[in-house]
Structure formats: structure tokens, C-alpha cells
Amino acid sequence: MRSLPVTVITLLCAASVLVFGVWAYFAPVSFIDYVNYAPYNEHLTHDAGAFQIGIGFGLITALLWNNTLGAALAGFVVASGLHTWSHFTDRHIGGHGSDVPLLGATTLLGIVAVILLLRRKNA
């Protein structure tokens, strides 16, 4: 059984990375202005936001699902999915043609692993 202090601390940690991750992902110029890191790189700011959101999602999933591998995979799937999307939307500013398919494939593999865990749990 998880203690209340651990739950509250986990939620605070998740909130902190989710707030900054969502900000970096969806408003990268504003985020970089606030944190004062130059030079501005839109794509890397999107990526940082994607991974922060994935970490926050993984923490919340760990509170809801008593499966450490499942929570880690769920965080990975969210981060990897957003990372794939940032490569797709930022393709006009750089990257490689293989980025989106390769990143998308790893995201799909993570989804398959989560589905297999859920099936095993329900069996």
C-alpha cells in the first residue's frame, strides 16, 4: 500500500514536469524566453517538452497502475509519440526523412508491449 506522502510527492513531481513539458512543447518561444537559454531551437524545445510530458505521464500511471514496467512503457509511449509528432511537424526545419518512420515504429512497439501487458493482466 502506498503512503499518502509518497502519493502527494509523486503528484507534485508529475505536475512540475507536466507544466514545464506542456509549456515547452506547445509554446516553445515563450518557454525559452522564460528559461533564458540561447540560442533558441524550436525542435529541441519540442523534444524536451515531449520527454517531460512522458515522465509526468509515467509517474501518474505508476500511481494508477501497480505495474512498474507498464507505467514505464506508458511514459515511453507518450514521450515517443510526442517526439515522433515533433519530428513530423518540424520536418521543415531539419532532421532526416527516416526520423518519423523510425520513431513511429518504436512508439508502436511500446504500444504493443503495453497491450500485451494488459492482456496478460486480464488473463
Tens of pLDDT, residue by residue over 18-46, are 999 999 999 999 999 999 888 889 999 99
Q: Could you give the angle at which helices 42-64 and 68-89 cross, rounded to 10 degrees?
A: 160
Q: What is the mean pLDDT of residues 96-122?
A: 93
Q: How far is CA 59 from CA 9, 23, 45, 74, 77, in A?
A: 10, 18, 21, 9, 13
Q: What is the mean pLDDT of residues 91-120?
A: 94
∠ Cα 84 86 87 (to 5°): 65
Q: Give the domain range for residue 20.
A: 4-122
Look at residues 89, 85, 62, 58 and name the one whose alpha carbon lies nearest to residue 74. 58
Q: What is the mean pLDDT of residues 86-91?
A: 94
pLDDT score recorded for residue 123? 66
User: Which residues are CB-contacts of 52 (< 8 A; sequence separation ≥ 6)?
Assistant: 17, 18, 20, 21, 24, 25
How many structural domains comprise the chain?
Answer: 1
pLDDT score recorded for residue 38? 82
pTM of the model: 0.90
pLDDT score recorded for residue 114? 95
Rounded Cα distance, 21 and 54, in Å: 9
